[in-house]
Amino acid sequence: MIKLWENNIPCNTETLTTEPFMTPYMVEDAKACVIICPGGGYSFLCLDKEGEWIAEMFNQNGISAYVLNYRIAPAYHNPAMLEDVLRAVRVARREAKTYGYDEDKIAIMGFSAGGHLASMSLTHFDYGKETGDETDKISSRPDMGILCYPVITMDDYTHSGSRRNLLSDQWENQAERDKFSPEKNVKEDTPPCFIFHTAADTGVPPKNALAMANALIEKKIPTELHIFPYPNHGMGMGHTPEAKHASQWVGLMLNFMREYLIKS
């Protein structure tokens, strides 16, 4: 376990109930590293099929990984989650030499609400702060994004539970909704991104993935999008019969990584 902060954790520290941390899954001579943000509507973390199992898949492909335990509701709301994911990228970059992966080959990955958090890191990063500790001076820009049936917008076609848990009593504030809607904040230096969703998803409408892909394409960011017919929300890697077709997302994603992150 690697704590994101040893002390001075920002946001709600007076009522700290959970310290954010990452669990490392490392391999020797790693081709790259991925930070995984499990889903759970910002109210719990799906740490098995959207965390540990994904990390093990990456390890089998010569890629190191971290599973991020970020702060969630009801104890925490924005900006705690965003602070956690940006700090996670800084920590992963800081630890690159220790664990033997390239500090410029760090991807961020997220499922469902974790996909929203990952997409926030793609649009709200910085290249290092002047204030804070030494880790805060490191860039929080991921080198690639992987968004899996992600919540994206905080507007009408969002996942309402994720929005309420993230924004709390500010969920009706349009300025806050705009700030935390990554499709409205894509920039020219947003990293390349792989996205997949399913048309049958009734939990998080696939329009979320389409909106993010459109925003990336408009800025000419390398983007790959797949919309599979089924199953419903939360398939993970696709170990069920109804997800057999959509499970090919794993191989497609690894190919994208080879092209835009590993570059081999």
pLDDT in tens, 66-104: 999 999 999 999 999 999 999 999 999 999 999 999 999
Name the percent of the chain in helix, strand, coil, to the closest 5. Answer: 40, 15, 45
Residue type, 193: C
Cα(136)–Cα(182) distance, integer angstroms: 22
In this prediction, residue 34 has a pLDDT band, given cuts at 50, 70 and 90, of very high
Cα(118)–Cα(86) distance, integer angstroms: 9
Residue 6 has what pLDDT?
85
- Per-residue model confidence as pLDDT tens digits over 227-244: 999 999 989 988 888 889
Q: Is CATH 3.40.50.1820 what the domain over 2-262 is classified as, yes or no?
A: yes
Which among 126, 92, 130, 131 is positioned nearest to 108, based on CA atoms?
92
- Per-residue model confidence as pLDDT tens digits over 9-30: 887 656 666 789 999 999 999 9
The torsion angle over the Cα atoms of residues 37, 40, 45 and 47, rounded to 10 degrees, is: -70
Please state the domain extents for the chain: 2-262
Confirm whether pTM is higher than 0.75: yes
CB atoms within 10 A of CB 235: 25
Residue 119 has what pLDDT?
98
Residue 5 has what pLDDT?
92
